[in-house]
Amino acid sequence: MRLTDHWFSVPLNHSRPKETQLEIFAREITASAHTPDDVAGLPWLLYLQGGPGGRGIRPTSLNGWLKEATASFRVLMMDQRGTGLSTPATRQTLPSVGNAAAQAEYLSNFRADSIVADAELIRAAIAGGPWTIYGQSFGGFCALTYLSFAPEGLREVLITGGLAPLTGSPDRVYQATYARVAERNAEYFARYPEDRALTSRIFRHLENVTENLPTGERLTPERFQMVGNFLGGNTRMDALHYLLEDAFVSTAEGWRLSDLFLAEVSAQVSRRPNPLYALLHESIYAQGDATNWSAWRVLDQYADFQPSGEAPLLTGEMVYPWYFTQDPALVPLADVAEMLACRDNWPALYDPGQLARNTVPVAAAVYLNDIYVDHDLSMETAAAVRGLQAWETADYHHDGITEDGEEIFARLLGMCRKL
């Protein structure tokens, strides 16, 4: 493959374009089999990464969906604002913005509407005409925002695991996803029945014995629950089993959690690499009203997830206020997180009227057992976007494109081109 780096200057707030500027990094990826003249004639495809707070993929080889896409596109891999090599937003950089209130106001400009506005400036600078976009997970949410407010910039839209609900409270998102995660727990423990007793043992151990992660802080029962993120993938579910089998080691002080286990758990439960995920996760569903820690409130309806229970279930991608007291990378941002959770003037992320009039070809893979983006809510959205073709499948989970990216990409593109 051939990689070309691009840098762009964009306004923090697109309604005030002459004020604070951000830098956006994007990497162009093309197949080295194409000559420079060939590349110049290829159409552009913008990839919108999942998240929020996830930087663009750093490919080390041309495979999966990228291999399929670069056969006929110049792919632009954008680091969304606040991530990667774009102007960062972390515990290290945000204090330069001002106090907690100033930081919360600053971060209110880091949702899908601003990401789409960035993309439009970039498209005008390098592509000129409409381009194709491919959104995975939160990137699909951004794609729906793009269809709502800048459809003239789009040739066609591909979405995988990313049809967001267009209306309603985040509460119904978590009511649906808690139920999906509970089903996935049942599937996991049916596959690995010995791990049911093992996870309960780990919970009880963490209640009674202080175990510290390599970063120094105590591993709590509720933080251990976060390893349930493994349940969102096809083969990643098996990786959870391999993680758990390394849990205990016999020492002179009795049974303790092994250094290997603690290191692997730390990599899964720390938000140090992507603090925006924790800060903005619930806001991606917010339109108008405050989220008020929706996942934390809805958790009260699901006793099986309470870490003090006899056999607690593992959680998914939900974000809770205690993240900001237990994760050292998030502790300095606790006041900012609270202000964002209480913010009650979020602008609309979608235009249902425009989506109902949509003329851009759209194809979406909707996973029946997705624990992150609920199937039923996704199909509700699919029905509200004129012309959207939904491919419903139980063959993949949320990370389907890492399992069979070439097939999924080719199928969705073919669906768009047949319209």
CA distances (Å), 209 to each of 39, 313, 322, in order? 59, 20, 20
Q: How far apart are CA 95 and CA 67, in angstroms?
A: 41
Say whether 370 is catalytic: yes
Task: Decide if 48 contacts 115 (C-beta within 8 A).
Answer: yes
Q: How far apart are CA 219 and CA 233, in angstroms?
A: 24
Say whether 137 is catalytic: yes
> What is the three-state SS of the chain?
CEEEEEEEEEECCCCCCCCCEEEEEEEEEECCCCCHHHHHCCCEEEEECCCCCCCCCCCCCCCHHHHHHCCCCEEEEECCCECCCCCECCCCCHHHHCCHHHHHHHHCCCCHHHHHHHHHHHHHHHCCCCEEEEEECHHHHHHHHHHHHCHHHEEEEEEECCCCCCCCCHHHHHHHHHHHHHHHHHHHHHHCCHHHHHHHHHHHHHHHCCCECCCCCECCHHHHHHHHHHHHCCCHHHHHHHHHHCCEEEECCEEEECHHHHHHHHHHHCCCCCHHHHHHCHHHHCCECCCCCHHHHHHHHCHHHCCCCCCCCCCCCCCCCCHHHHCCCCHHHHHHHHHHHHCCCECCCCCHHHHHCCCCCEEEEEECCCCCCCHHHHHHHHHHCCCEEEEEECCCCCCHHHHHHHHHHHHHHHHHHCC
Q: How far apart are CA 287 and CA 353, in angstroms?
A: 16
Q: Among the options 86, 137, 270, 378, which is catalytic?
A: 137
Say whether 61 is catalytic: no
Q: Among the options 79, 370, 374, 399, which is catalytic?
A: 370
Task: Decide if 295 contacts 180 (C-beta within 8 A).
Answer: no
Catalytic residue set: 137, 370, 398
